[in-house]
Amino acid sequence: MAMDVDAMIDRRRLRRKLTFWRVATFIVIAAALIGGIAYIAGASNLSKRKAHIARIPIEGMILENRKTLEMLEKIGKSDAVKGVIVSINSPGGSTTGGEAIYGALRKLSEKKPLVTEMRTIGTSAGYLIAMSADHIVARYNTITGSIGVLFQFGNIERLLDTVGVSMEAVKSAPLKAEPDFYSPTTPEARAMLQAMVTDSYNWFVEILADRRNLAPNKARELADGRVLLGNRALQEKLVDAIGGEEKAVEWLETEKGVAKDLPIVTWTSKESIEELPFAARISREVGKGLGTAIVEPLNDAKGLISRGLMLDGLVSVWQAPVAADNKP
Active site residues: 124, 176
Q: What is the dihedral of CA 258, 259, 261, 265, to 10 degrees?
A: -50
Helix spans in the chain (H): 2-49, 66-77, 95-109, 125-130, 157-163, 187-211, 216-222, 230-235, 245-256, 278-290
Compute the C-alpha angle 220/222/225, nearest 5°: 100
Query: Do 209 and 238 form a contact (C-beta atoms < 8 A)?
Result: no
DSSP string for residues in 36-75: HHHHHHHHHHHHHHSSEEEEEEEEEEE---HHHHHHHHHH
Sign of the Cα pseudo-torsion (125, 127, 131, 134, in order):
positive
Measured between alpha carbons, how far is 47 from 44 in angstroms, rounded to an integer?
Answer: 5
